[in-house]
Amino acid sequence: MNILIDQILNQRQKDTLLAGLGRDPTPAEVAMVSAMWSEHCGYTHSRHFLKTLPREGEHVLAGPGENAGIIRLHDQLAVAFKIESHNHPSAVVPYQGAATGVGGILRDIFTMGSEPIALMNSLHFDIRDHRGKWIAEHVVDGIADYGNCTGIPTVGGEYSSYPWYVDNPLVNVVCAGLLKPEQVLKASTAQVGDRVLYFGNKTGRDGIAGAIFASLNLTEATREQKSAVQVGDPFMGKLIMQATLELIRAGVPSAMQDMGAAGITCSTSEIAHNSGLGITVELDAVPVRAPGITAEEILLSESQERMLATVPPDRLAQAEEILNRYPLDYAWIGVIEETPDMVVRFQNETVASAPLDLLIDGCPVEDYADLTDDVLRAGKERASDLSGIAGTGRPLLGGKPSTNPEPPTLSALLEVYAETSHYASARHIYEQFDYEINQRTLGGPGDDHTLMYDAASERTVAFTLHSRSPWTLQHAYRGTRAVLAAAWRRSIAAGAYPLGLSNCLNYPSADRRETMIDFGGTTLAMKEFCEALGIPVTGGNVSFYNESEVGAIAPTPVFVLVGDSVLGPDRYRYAGAEGQLYLLGTPDLTAGDVYALWRLRQDGTLSGATVPTVDFAQEHQVGQALLDLYRAYPGAFAMRDVGKGGVFKRILEQFARADRDVVLNDDLPAALPDVLLGEGPCTYLLFVPDATTLEWPAALQAAGIRPLGRVTAGDGKLLAPAVELDLLKYRARADKSLEPHWIDQLELAP
């Protein structure tokens, strides 16, 4: 037994377990503890930092610790939303890894009683070689097949390709759902005597965590059938979604939790512990599909599409009546107890009996008291020295190595713009997703903003998803502040004051101090952002260990903001009008990602690149003024935040037409490359059609809003002092989508 413990638990965990139990643990207990005390369930490395984040707020109906965060948008409507990573499975088996990621995030949302209305994704690859393209293509295919088959539209997302994602793609998936504020069902409201209901798929040996699996007593049969890869079944996912929502609407369950990481162990222990109670689980009752499966395997199986609910004794028949109408398995596998222990029985024996306090809160966590706010703010500067970062140190494909490159010319920068996949239309990705099903999509992929319409309340929900790895790589703390400000601007442009923040924090190995300085820097920046703007953190996900022999990923925090948008079906949509362009803020070329890509192509570094220094109070002031402007002139003008690809990308997407020219003024606020391709704090681009007369509020005048140029009759040119660009040519290249980058020379094996 001791040998077994040594293989699975570290010394500190072992001591804690032995002290907590006062005896040697059983194999089942070791299995449960190993899962519950892992980084994924126990947040062993991240808890120190995450506990500092503000999570309270008048709009919060459910926060961290629940399956998903829930925000009250207005009296009639609440939104549940969450983002989660499926990076490691997607690196190994891209199709299934991505598909099961979608299945898992969907379950988190409908488990809370909300009806999923939108999926999104944040995808980051290194597509320079065949393997990278193969991963990208199959990740998209997996997301598409699962999402499309469940009938939830995939309405937005972001994509990047950087060298630091070689070997370690990032696949983060978002789901959001709507519900009435009074309909929230939590995982913490079980009562003594409630029966424990299991329904959905049968339990098999798939998805049993590799390290634990290899350390337990394995039977011959187990070895032959072992698989650490979960397999998704979207049809079953759709059925359990329907069944779950029907059970909740009928008021049957007292609490609900989906079975994700660590399967039955995590869901049963957490539902009891979060309710302040205990639980007895009868493993013999669990529907299984593998003969001879052991207690430890049942406890740790991560078979997909399984749900757990607690049901009061007088509701059992009603639960069965509903579930009998669906072709899925269900079973009563236990009971909620007064004593706060987790007792597991298998084949007439008690195989585990441990206090839930020990199992869940007893998890020894790392302490980083020495990483003070000052240490985190100082952080690590990385622009010119990217050693240890995967895939860097050599120029990107097609670039020429250079130790002392001249400052880039506009044409060199536009060449980068035209040739990398970043600014190509993402049509190749999003056309594989059904983004219009359920009739709610007001702004989908390819549109300016991600907007979902609720016909019952005649209100619009805005979703913003944002990450910027070149910034967070240069400096985690300052980079994260800049990413959050950029996400804020995107939400403002979508007409919404953000009411809640969710996050997916993708980092390299937590065992290195450098990683934890970056991680702490990111959480400190989040704390400052949330406190300054009054936005609570409603949930999140941490993914460490995104590294391999070739190096580590860039720290990549991905943020989701949700808000009640002032934009509706009558919002302004550009249809060829002439008008005036206005610019807020002063873009800086070196802060933009076009510069970063140019530099990576030159010498594989980010030398000379900068991170915008942002002031949240100033962003707040400008953002509020812009929302007021939207309210004052509904449907009269267009606004975009100036983000990836700068002003140029926005001009290209909106105004590149055969019958229009974009003529920039002579007195530009900065050099042309800065104006066209840079970024900066409080930067927005507005278009006011000639038919609209606007009076700028004092706050925007104070913020320095200025005319940038005109959209006027012409033939598809951008005209600036001494420069003429053929917009239609660049537009045609962007419209070719990602296919030249992804598909050329790629064999599409099934």
Partner 1 sequence: MSDPALRIAIIDFHGTLCERDCAAAFGQAAHVETMLVSSEKDSFSGPVHAIVVPGGFSYGDYIRPGAMARTAPITRALYAAADAGTPIIGICNGFQILCEIRLLPGVLLKNRDGRFICRETGLRVQSRRSPFLAGVKPDVLRVPIAHKYGQYYCSAETLAELQANDQIALCYCDDEGQISDAANPNGSVGHIAGVTNKAGNVLGMMPHPERRAMPWHAGKDGNWMIESVCA
- Catalytic residue set: 40, 86
Alpha carbons 345 and 338: distance in angstroms, whole number: 17
* Look-up of token digits 């994509």: 159
CB-nearer residue toward partner 1: 438 or 665: 438
Task: For residue 645, list its beta bridge partners.
Answer: none
From the list 171, 190, 239, 524, which residue makes contact with partner 1 (rule: CB under 8 A)? Answer: 239
> Are residues 102 and 173 in contact, defined by beta-carbon separation less than 8 angstroms?
yes
Q: How far is the CB of 446 from partner 1 (least distance, A)?
A: 10
From the list 191, 438, 607, 618, which residue makes contact with partner 1 (rule: CB under 8 A)? Answer: 438
CB-nearer residue toward partner 1: 43 or 433: 433
Segment 277 to 296, residues that bind partner 1, using CB under 8 A: none
Cα–Cα distance list, 378 to 144, 473, 478 (Å): 42, 14, 9
Q: How far is the CB of 602 from partner 1 (least distance, A)?
A: 35
Does residue 628 bind partner 1 (CB under 8 A)?
Answer: no
Q: How far is the CB of 144 from partner 1 (least distance, A)?
A: 5
> Are residues 428 and 137 in contact, defined by beta-carbon separation less than 8 angstroms?
no
Alpha carbons 558 and 639: distance in angstroms, whole number: 23
Q: Which range in 206-214, 272-280, 437-445, 678-686 contacts partner 1 by CB under 8 A? A: 437-445
Alpha carbons 247 and 742: distance in angstroms, whole number: 44
First to last CA, the chain: 44
Alpha carbons 304 and 526: distance in angstroms, whole number: 32
Helix (H, G, I), strand (E, B) or coil at 495: coil
Q: How far is the CB of 637 from partner 1 (least distance, A)?
A: 18
Does residue 246 bind partner 1 (CB under 8 A)?
Answer: no
Q: Which range in 233-241, 267-275, 290-298, 359-367 contacts partner 1 by CB under 8 A? A: 233-241
From the list 348, 439, 693, 745, which residue makes contact with partner 1 (rule: CB under 8 A)? Answer: 439
> Are residues 591 and 611 in contact, defined by beta-carbon separation less than 8 angstroms?
yes
Q: How far is the CB of 153 from partner 1 (least distance, A)?
A: 9
Number of residues that bind partner 1 (CB under 8 A): 32
CB-nearer residue toward partner 1: 519 or 742: 742
Q: How far is the CB of 430 from partner 1 (least distance, A)?
A: 7
**Residue span 129-168 as binding mask against partner 1, x where in contact by CB under 8 A, dash where not:** ------------x--xx--xxxx-----------------
CB-nearer residue toward partner 1: 96 or 310: 96
Task: For residue 337, list its beta bridge partners.
Answer: 278
Q: How far is the CB of 236 from partner 1 (least distance, A)?
A: 8
Antiparallel, parallel or unpaired: β 154-161 and 195-200: unpaired
Q: Which of these, 179, 106, 166, lies nearest to 136 by C-alpha position?
A: 166
> Are residues 371 and 310 in contact, defined by beta-carbon separation less than 8 angstroms?
no
CB-nearer residue toward partner 1: 65 or 569: 569
**What token pair was written down for 745?**
């020379």
Does residue 742 bind partner 1 (CB under 8 A)?
Answer: no
CB-nearer residue toward partner 1: 453 or 497: 453
Alpha carbons 596 and 191: distance in angstroms, whole number: 55
From the list 337, 366, 431, 514, which residue makes contact with partner 1 (rule: CB under 8 A)? Answer: 431
**What token pair was written down for 377?**
């703010």
Sheet holding 684-689, edge to edge: 638-641, 684-689, 579-584, 706-713, 660-664, 717-720, 723-726
Does residue 436 bind partner 1 (CB under 8 A)?
Answer: yes
> Are residues 135 and 91 in contact, defined by beta-carbon separation less than 8 angstroms?
yes
Q: Which range in 228-236, 256-264, 372-380, 533-541 contacts partner 1 by CB under 8 A? A: 228-236
Segment 561 to 580, residues that bind partner 1, using CB under 8 A: 568-569, 573
From the list 110, 165, 213, 435, which residue makes contact with partner 1 (rule: CB under 8 A)? Answer: 435
CB-nearer residue toward partner 1: 150 or 230: 150
Does residue 238 bind partner 1 (CB under 8 A)?
Answer: yes
* Look-up of token digits 């949930």: 539
246, exposed or middle or buried, with CB in 10 Å at 0-12, 13-18, 19+?
middle
> Are residues 735 and 426 in contact, defined by beta-carbon separation less than 8 angstroms?
no
Q: How far is the CB of 171 from partner 1 (least distance, A)?
A: 18
List, in order, residues 6 or more apart from 498 with CB less than 8 Å away. 464, 487, 488, 491, 533, 535, 561, 562, 563
Eight-state DSSP code of residue 441: E
**What token pair was written down for 185?**
């069902």
CB-nearer residue toward partner 1: 632 or 748: 748
From the list 434, 593, 603, 661, which residue makes contact with partner 1 (rule: CB under 8 A)? Answer: 434
**What token pair was written down for 666?**
């002579």
CB-nearer residue toward partner 1: 149 or 670: 149
Q: How far is the CB of 406 from partner 1 (least distance, A)?
A: 43
CB-nearer residue toward partner 1: 56 or 570: 570
Does residue 437 bind partner 1 (CB under 8 A)?
Answer: yes
CB-nearer residue toward partner 1: 89 or 443: 443
575, exposed or middle or buried, with CB in 10 Å at 0-12, 13-18, 19+?
exposed
From the list 433, 488, 582, 648, which residue makes contact with partner 1 (rule: CB under 8 A)? Answer: 433
From the list 233, 302, 448, 588, which residue makes contact with partner 1 (rule: CB under 8 A)? Answer: 233
Antiparallel, parallel or unpaired: β 496-506 and 556-565: antiparallel
Q: How far is the CB of 465 from partner 1 (least distance, A)?
A: 19
Segment 447 to 466, residues that bind partner 1, using CB under 8 A: 453, 455
Q: How far is the CB of 431 from partner 1 (least distance, A)?
A: 5
745, exposed or middle or buried, with CB in 10 Å at 0-12, 13-18, 19+?
exposed
Instruction: List contacts with partner 1 (CB under 8 A).
Output: 141, 144-145, 148-151, 233-236, 238-239, 326-327, 430-439, 442, 453, 455, 568-569, 573, 748
